[in-house]
Chain A
């Protein structure tokens, strides 16, 4: 039972939650694609920003209780940040893609170079704050 628990659970003290804008622009979708790829590669686990914004208690409380969280906004409008400020959830690590020098436009054919640039920026931002991404294969919190 305990082994099964550790195979299926998520130890939130060891996993970075990744929340990303998914707005109607290249930078919104770069944020989303970055979250997808970092999750797939084991650098954290993507959660649902819309769920937080919709005040769904599971998503809101998870964002409050998780130890490590990266919030990625596409542009300076800061919709993700606004959600967190509205709900008074502290932002641990925050990134705005346009501040990386990527211009906002309506071209949804994302550039691989830009996706990789954002991914590296997210990793660097987390490292700078003495956080490190942990393999999501970390088990449940019953350590």
Chain B
């Protein structure tokens, strides 16, 4: 599983990454988590704001810190 956290590195971006990593640990799911800070690369995803979460190429959340329950539903297939 490939997870990308899109955002320039603000506190909400950091909190989003933390939330994702905690959910992965709770679910016992292995994933490669990458932070994408480059604005052009972020723009290529078509997101309206940051932070944003992308899982296996699909944007799951835009402009907010996602809830744990939502993250768990995304990573548990």
Which residues of chain A have a CB within 8 Å of any CB of chain B? 1-2, 4-6, 8-13, 15, 17, 45, 47-48, 51, 56-66, 140-142
Contact = CB atoms under 8 A, between A and B. Distances in A.
Interface of B: 7-13, 39, 45-52, 54, 57-64
A140 B47 contact: no
A35 to B, nearest CB: 14
A89 to B, nearest CB: 12
Given A140-B10, A141-B12, A142-B12, A62 B46 contact: yes
B49 A2 contact: no
B8 A58 contact: no
A45 B47 CA distance: 12
Contact of A1 (B9, B45, B60, B61): B9
A61 B7 contact: no
Contacts of B58: 57
A138 to B, nearest CB: 10
Contacts of B45: 57-58
B63 A66 contact: yes
29 contacts: A2-B10, A4-B8, A6-B10, A9-B49, A10-B50, A10-B63, A12-B48, A12-B63, A15-B49, A17-B48, A45-B48, A57-B46, A57-B54, A57-B57, A57-B58, A58-B45, A59-B46, A61-B47, A61-B59, A61-B61, A61-B62, A62-B47, A65-B48, A65-B62, A65-B63, A66-B63, A141-B12, A141-B51, A141-B63
